[in-house]
Structure 1
Amino acid sequence: MPASPPDDVPVAFADPAYREAVIDLLAVIAYGEITAFERLAEDAKLAPTLEDKVALAAMATAELDKVGPLRDRITELGGEPFAAMAPFRSAVDLFHAHTAPADWPEGLVKAYVGDGLANDFYREIAAYLDPDTRDLVVSSVDTAGNAAFVVEKVREAIAADHRLGGRLALWGRRLMGEALTQAQRVAAERDALTALLAGGVDRPGLDLAAIGRMFTRLTERHAERMAELGLDS
């Protein structure tokens, strides 16, 4: 059971359910960053050149650097960071087990499309949080610096082998399906996260129509990312 947060946190945290939901959200993002670090470091072994290996290793390091502020915020709210991450390990690990890339291009597409879908979802949720938490979430899922490198390398790979495009398009669809499946599983198992979207006395919430519009935006952004890579969605 998390301890009470300090007195200087926003009024929203007077609601224990909101505090629990925020700790859950920060914990799942933090564990996602840890696994992103591990995965990118592992995928670097598939890199065709030393320059590519170093670039992917730098991306991995950037993911790990984001864990510290998330961990500190969980502690500030009275939670224990690693205990808070524990409930999400199974779902996140299962996603990565089901989407292990077979080669360098698949690893790049996963880093761009798979992570991008999760990050878009967290940004959507962030709109319903207190300002400090919202800013932390948005900064934690910012991967704009990786976009140019990944897009360039995937387009180069497709140009060198036109048959690759079809396989990577199917891979992108699979990534989206697996990500949505695991997101639904996490939401079903963690009532606090589901309640978060319902809002509170000092925060707006989502009705069914708004949830539908949110998933439409997620789908559209996924299609945009696939197009940026030169792939059909």
Structure 2
Amino acid sequence: MTASTGGPDGSAEQAADQAADQDVPLALQDAAYREAVVDLLGAIAYGELSAFERLVEDGKLAPSLEDKVEIAAMAAAEFGKVAGIHARISELGTDPFVAMAPFREAIDRFHAHTAPSDWYEGLIKAYVGDGLADDFYREIAAYLDATTRDLVVSSLEDSGHAAFVVDRVRTAIAADPRLGGRLALWGRRLMGEALTQAQRVAAERDALSALLAGGVDRPGLDLAAIGRMFARLTERHAERMAELGLAH
């Protein structure tokens, strides 16, 4: 009769499971938290993919070959971030395309409502609109486990193209001051649309709402903290507008 390697009570299997659990952060042992992280990463991944598509389309409005190359480089940088996020989603046991699917409608709706009418509106959207989304995800990243937090923050790092946008917009406003008023209104519209879509997504995805409520090893956000978070988002938006020469 052959002896069982796990023992009569399955102690070896239990020990293996316990060892595996010790390698997983406490937060990720919470199924609700894992679901929330997958949701967040799915939203970011689809956001990066759609930003890539939009920048490629905006490149058709570029007035010079140099501008086309800059926009193409920005698009490539956005697309380059997707693989790492997909890998993390897979590590968490979910198909990345399944994770992205729930956010497709909301993000596509945002882009449909904020389609730029010219080259400069496209630049403002790339700088201000994407900046707002990145700031929001950075705020949420503070409530994630260290591995996921580092991935999110690194995926939102500026790819070095902000200076290009600022230079082009400031130069255009200097040449035609009336352009500044139109672009300032456009920037305010982008912020309103972005906040509206973010609130809709959060309301529709219970896991994301629960994420901000905290967990066994993470702090949560009360109403006052949420208010301060949106105040910071508004302040950073104003700073970007000022950098573009669009502060009023």
TM-score range, shorter chain: over 0.9
Does residue 140 (structure 1) correspond to residue 121 (structure 2)? The answer is: no
Q: Which range moved further: 90-99 or 155-164?
A: 155-164
What is the alpha-carbon distance in structure 1 between the residues aligned to residue 222 and residue 130 of structure 2? 26
Return the offset for 1:134: 0.5
Does residue 210 (structure 1) correspond to residue 225 (structure 2)? The answer is: yes
C-alpha spacing 1:154/1:11, structure 2 compared with 1 (3 Å)? same
What is the alpha-carbon distance in structure 2 between the residues aligned to residue 80 and residue 59 of structure 1? 27
**AA in 1 matched with 2:36:** A
Return the offset for 1:142: 1.2
Return the offset for 1:6: 8.1
2:45 corresponds in structure 1 to 30
What is the alpha-carbon distance in structure 2 between the residues aligned to residue 63 and residue 122 of structure 1? 15
Q: When the two structures are superposed, what TM-score results if normalisation uses the length of structure 2?
A: 0.90
| Aligned mate of 2:107, from 71, 92, 99 | 92
1:192 corresponds in structure 2 to 207
Return the offset for 1:29: 0.2
| Aligned mate of 2:131, from 81, 105, 116 | 116
Deviation per CA, 1:191-213: give whole Å up to 9, x if none: 00000001011011111111000
Does residue 12 (structure 1) correspond to residue 31 (structure 2)? The answer is: no
What is the alpha-carbon distance in structure 2 between the residues aligned to residue 173 and residue 81 of structure 1? 33
Structure 1: 5+ residue stretches without partners: none
Runs ≥4 in structure 1, deviation > 6 angstroms? none
Does residue 222 (structure 1) correspond to residue 237 (structure 2)? The answer is: yes
What is the alpha-carbon distance in structure 2 between the residues aligned to residue 13 and residue 201 of structure 1? 10
RMSD of aligned Cα (Å): 1.2
1:180 corresponds in structure 2 to 195
Structure 2: 5+ residue stretches without partners: 1-19
Return the offset for 1:232: 2.5
What is the alpha-carbon distance in structure 2 between the residues aligned to residue 72 and residue 150 of structure 1? 31
**AA in 1 matched with 2:73:** A
User: Which one has the largest radius of gyration?
Assistant: 2
**AA in 1 matched with 2:28:** F
- Percent identical residues: 78
Return the offset for 1:226: 0.2
